[in-house]
Structure 1
Amino acid sequence: MASRAEREREAYDERHVFERSHAWHVRFRHVFECPNTVAHERLFAERLRAGGAGKRVLEIGCGDGSQARELLVSGAAYVYGIDVSQKFIAQANERAIPGRLEFELKDATEPVAGRFEVIFGRAILHHLDYEEVLARLHRDNLAPGGFMIFIEPLGAHPLIRLFHLLARSAHTPDERPFFRADLRRLRERFERFQVIPFNFLSFPCALASTFLFRRADNPLLRLCDRADRWLARRLPFLAPSFRQVIFVIG
């Protein structure tokens, strides 16, 4: 029987899961371009840039290496990216700079050498046995005073569950979004654990907005952005029902 890593590699290299997922993103682009999403993508990028300036950075699930390259340009001393996809690593290696920006074909469940002040990933943990991977990265690879930061999908929202049913070909066989129990386990394991959820009202309204408005930055989605920020701040128990979350682990 194929291992989890082998199934993930096949999904991306042979079954074109990334391309199928991207097609859904294009079809419902307001979800990914609405003010609430843009603000939190900017927050994620700013924390990476600020934390990575002059530091060593590890990216888990680096894809084609474009974000690793951006971090190097913005001031990181060294960026090392790993990915299970041969196709992505081949693309990433076209950007490589020996000693500054390096990539390796590696399963995230395998040990990584070295210490890094920043460890990050985008939509990668839900493809893995995340508890084991995070514990090892925190113990063996995170430098003193450093932090880990990830953007991950949440799974409690009914529309998210419906999407997974309707778009099975856009997902890998083993991926599983995060639920309330997952957030609780992470809080229990890591003393310094921060959750920043986004897209509660913005998610369903952006689905509709795609067909109602030309631009994602429209009055409806600006109102949803303000509401989602308030809900995330004032009603933290709703966090698992948002569309996505930023995890920060110190």
Structure 2
Amino acid sequence: MNLQYEALYHQLEEQHWWFQARRDIVFDQIKHLNLPKDARILEIGCSGGPLQQRLRDTGYHEVSGIDISETAIALAQQRGIPNVAVMDGIKLEFADSSFDLVVASDVLEHIQNEEQALNEWQRVLKPNGQLLVYVPAHPSLWSRHDVANHHFRRYTAASLSQALRKAGYQLTRSSYWNFWLFFPTWLLRRWQRPSASPDMSGDLIRLPAVLNQSLFRLVQAENRWLRRFNLPTGVSVFALASKPA
């Protein structure tokens, strides 16, 4: 991602409503997988490690994280988070069948060779191991935010499911996320179409505390619905899939 954007990202990733709400839903989905506490979990694109820290705080002690950014890994290490390393998501330095769960939130869209990434993530999964992946939704939402983030694509639920099946995964579930903010986001992005000189901060800004908390509560309420229902659209899309036995 753009260096200006990355610096702002690391300043905000612990308290910004978007990152808080996404960590909440990812953590909730991991919790409901009922993995044993000694399950081996790999987070690809771990950034400064806030999800790993939360997993460790709740008893998961075999958690590893990788990120292609040296800045992100240095920040995670400063926070005292173990088992983190600078590593390319398509060239994992782990043995075959090493992990029970691989988590990749907003990573796949950064990788040009989608198939190579999915094959590599499957390689390090144990048989019946699971992949939880989140990506930006809808090509129609493409904007300066995607340019600042060096995205190669946005997905639909159908295209993400198709990519996973093509790579040999068995799909368990797929749904959109962040439904309520899809419509204002769509309107905003129609207005700010990408230009030759995009704003390298993307859509990431520091919000007043009251607004930040209100947006977090809104998406947090939606997260509770996602425990039982799939959503028809959203700003992001996720899938849970498994490696065949």
Shorter-chain TM-score: which interval? 0.5 to 0.7
Task: Tell me the equivalent position of 2:29.
Answer: 47
Query: Is the Cα contact below 8 Å between 2:160 and 2:239 reproduced in 1?
Result: no
- Percent of aligned pairs with the same residue? 19
Structure 1 distance, partners of 2:44, 2:24, is 19
Q: State whether structure 2 residue 154 is matched by structure 1 residue 154.
A: no
Instruction: Give the 5 Å matches for 1:93-132.
Output: 93-96=77-80, 101-114=82-95, 115-128=98-111, 129-132=113-116
Correspondent of 1:202 among 153, 164, 181: 181
> What amino acid sits opposite 1:43 in the alignment?
I
Give CA-to-partner distance per residue, 1:41-87, whole Å, 9 cap, x none.
Answer: 53321222443622111110111122112212211131111111111
> What amino acid sits opposite 1:246 in the alignment?
F
Task: Tell me the equivalent position of 1:243.
Answer: 235
Q: State whether structure 2 residue 89 is matched by structure 1 residue 79.
A: no
3-state SS, counterpart of residue 38 of structure 2: coil
Unaligned residue ranges in structure 1 (runs of 5+): 1-7
> How many pairs were matched up?
208
Q: CA deviation at 1:195?
A: 0.7
3-state SS, counterpart of residue 165 of structure 2: helix
Structure 2 distance, partners of 1:177, 1:67, is 23
TM-score by length of 1: 0.66
TM-score by length of 2: 0.67
Structure 2 distance, partners of 1:22, 1:206, is 23
> What amino acid sits opposite 1:197 in the alignment?
Y
Q: Check 1:89–1:150 CA distance in 2 against 1; reply closer, same or farther (3 A cut).
A: same
Query: Is the Cα contact below 8 Å between 2:174 and 2:237 reproduced in 1?
Result: yes
The structure having more radius of gyration, on CA atoms, is 1
Q: CA deviation at 1:144?
A: 2.8
Structure 2 distance, partners of 1:142, 1:176, is 25
Structure 1 distance, partners of 2:132, 2:146, is 27
> What amino acid sits opposite 1:243 in the alignment?
V
Q: Check 1:23–1:73 CA distance in 2 against 1; reply closer, same or farther (3 A cut).
A: closer
Q: What RMSD over aligned residues (CA atoms) do the two structures have, in Å?
A: 3.8
Task: Tell me the equivalent position of 1:4.
Answer: none
Task: Tell me the equivalent position of 1:170.
Answer: 148
Query: Is the Cα contact below 8 Å between 1:116 and 1:146 reproduced in 2?
Result: yes
Task: Tell me the equivalent position of 1:60.
Answer: 44
> What amino acid sits opposite 1:42 in the alignment?
D
3-state SS, counterpart of residue 16 of structure 1: helix
Q: Check 1:52–1:136 CA distance in 2 against 1; reply closer, same or farther (3 A cut).
A: farther
> What amino acid sits opposite 2:161 in the alignment?
L
Structure 2 distance, partners of 1:79, 1:244, is 25
Structure 2 distance, partners of 1:190, 1:84, is 24
Query: Is the Cα contact below 8 Å between 2:155 and 2:237 reproduced in 1?
Result: no
Task: Tell me the equivalent position of 1:185.
Answer: 163
